[in-house]
Amino acid sequence: MIGSRLFARLLISGLAIAQRIRQARGWVLLIVIVGVLAVALTGCNPTRFRTESAQVSQLVFASPSNPSTFNPPLNTSFFSTTVFGLINRGLAETNGVTGEIEPELAESWEISEDGLQIIYTLRDGLKWSDGQPLTADDVVFTFQDIYLNEAIPTSIRDILRIGATGAYPSVKKLDRRRIEFTAPAPFAPFLTYSGGIDILPKHMLEDTLRSDGSAGQLKFFSTWGIDADPREIICNGPYRIKKFVPSERLIFERNPYYWRSDAEGNPPPDIDRIILQIMTDKSQLISFRSGGLDTLEVTPEGFELLKREEARGKFTLYNGGPAFNTRFLDFNLNQARNSEGKPLVDPIKSRWFNTLAFRQAVAYAIDRERMKNTIYRGLGELQHSPINPQSPFYLSPKAGLKTYRYNPQRSKQLLKEAGFTYNSQGQLLDWDSNRVRFKLLVKSEEKSRLDAAAQIAEDLSKIGMQVDLQVLSFNTVIENLTARNWESYVGVFANRSLDPLDPHSGFNVWFSQGRLHQFNQGPRPTEDPPIQGWQVSDWEKAIDRLFTLGVKELDETKRREIYNQFQQIVQEQVPFFYLVNSLALEAARDRVQNFKFTALGGAFWNVHELEVREK
């Protein structure tokens, strides 16, 4: 950067040089020298950058991977969920601090005495990001034509199922601003799930449900993919997408039609632009330390370094408590065959995976204390249940929940009792002398998950198993899981539902026909031809019954007893073996004001209140 004094010296020198050689080359050289120096001064002047920054208030954060889609019902990616949190809203929202359900697109609601009916009243004058009116027609369309449409494979439909018959709420327009939801049976989280689902624009999507796209599918399936023109992605939240450069960045601009306004009538949010950089965890840490990012999801390996720099770097580290994430290892228990009659999982390996003693032996063989202390630097807790410890429905080990403490000798005992043997090299063999060897799928973008997978492979080698890591990009991992093309997997379920404290938020994972019933994924409505020979175990059916009872029970004490049984079955059968629940840690520049990070709400639940002000 060139200062004014240096510029003056260079200019004088340039004039002198030009004076000596103008006879040979003319005054053109002088013009070039002055022009170059002027550009250098203008381009490096910090005042110019401060002026530009003042003109456009912006916030920059990062994610390790591209979104999988911009179409909310088709989303299976946590990153895409982050995007939707900026651009979309439902009728109600959860306060990230208190957990209370508060009005959003709806200004109010009335619940009938029997709890079977909710009437929402929309705010007056709501608009979409393209300026078109948002009315009750959009709400009815969203539920009836999209989320409850059997032709659209969305996991959101799973959480709206009620009772043993799997019936859904009905949705009816009363007038331009009022919508009536009616449940066919008691539905404990009725307000949560009718109010918290993103509302979608009828005027943009209605035609996509009437016309065919490629391969005879609805055009809806190819609508708002990652190659979509951002101007066509119509939304109702505080921001809209301005630009997407794959593997580089997403740029959001303030939605001028968002309904909120401050006391002076000015439309929030205060921040004009949000930039989401796509970079690896390591690159994120480097960028944050150099001032390139305003907020950062802090990994355990980066915590100590950032803690030392907190005051000097003018940022604050926030500890939100245990994250609403479920980190796990699971096996593909699917015994079905594809359309060509080929088993989805090698029958030899499928027999191992579907043997309870095998799964329990693996559970005892993984040293989670070591994982917590080394990989997570002690910044986490051992996870024992599919329900978060902060939930009132959580069953703790002290209250009787079965757990698996590290005990490799117990692992070997279980395997031998089940008919496995060891050869002279200590390698584990099955009943037919097949070496126990399988692949472990893991995404490449998250270091802690990679490290966990490596430790699992090491721990299982001590009981004679050979585990081959299969490291792929996250979107490729999703493709393999969707195609059921995997053997074992180290993954994370990020609970970003409207009420992650309610067990029903996991219904689409635990219901045997749920879209996220990953360990034994059944036939999908849109599969043609469907898989053959899919089997549901007795314990899966028992979980189905418990969730059916739990969602209808309005007495919290009785609901707690139901979900206690569910947790015991899960821990006994080990479809998922839970690892370490890390702490939710976030760093934010002190200039980001009104930042209210919690594990429940995340970093941007109150994005409409955030401001960027230099202190």
Domain boundaries defined on the chain? 4-55, 72-206, 325-582
Confirm or reject CATH 3.10.105.10 for domain 325-582, answering yes or no.
yes
Q: What are the respective helix, strand and coil percentages of the chain, to the nearest 5?
A: 40, 20, 40
CA distance 199 to 482: 26
Residue range 309-352, pLDDT digits in tens: 999 999 999 999 889 889 999 999 999 999 899 999 999 999 99
CA distance 429 to 415: 10
- State the pairing for strand pair 117-122/178-182: antiparallel
Q: Assign domain 72-206 to its CATH superfamily.
A: Dipeptide-binding Protein; Domain 1 (3.90.76.10)
- 590: which 2 tokens? 């002190």
Q: Which residue has the higher pLDDT, 89 or 78?
A: 89
CB 518 within 8 A of CB 509: yes
pLDDT greater than 80 at residue 98: yes
Residue 71 φ then ψ, to 5°: -105, 105
CB 486 within 8 A of CB 439: yes
Q: How many other C-beta atoms can be found within 10 angstroms of the C-beta atom of residue 404?
A: 21
Q: Write down how long the chain is.
A: 615
The residue to which tokens 């007038």 are assigned: 175
Give 165's pLDDT tier (boundaries 50, 70, 90). Answer: confident
Rounded to two decimals, the pTM is 0.79
Average pLDDT over residues 452-473: 98
Q: How many other C-beta atoms can be found within 10 angstroms of the C-beta atom of residue 84?
A: 20
CA distance 197 to 524: 22
- State the pairing for strand pair 592-593/92-94: unpaired
Least confident segment among 105-109, 163-167, 405-409: 163-167
- State the pairing for strand pair 428-429/488-494: unpaired
DSSP 201: -
Helix H or strand E encompassing 179: strand 178-182
pLDDT greater than 90 at residue 592: yes
CA distance 275 to 285: 16
DSSP tally for the chain: helices H, then strands E: 18, 23
Q: pLDDT value at position 156?
A: 86
CA distance 18 to 15: 5
Give 79's pLDDT tier (boundaries 50, 70, 90). Answer: low
From the number of C-beta atoms within 10 Å of its C-beta (0-12, 13-18, 19+), residue 356 rates as middle
Q: pLDDT value at position 9?
A: 36
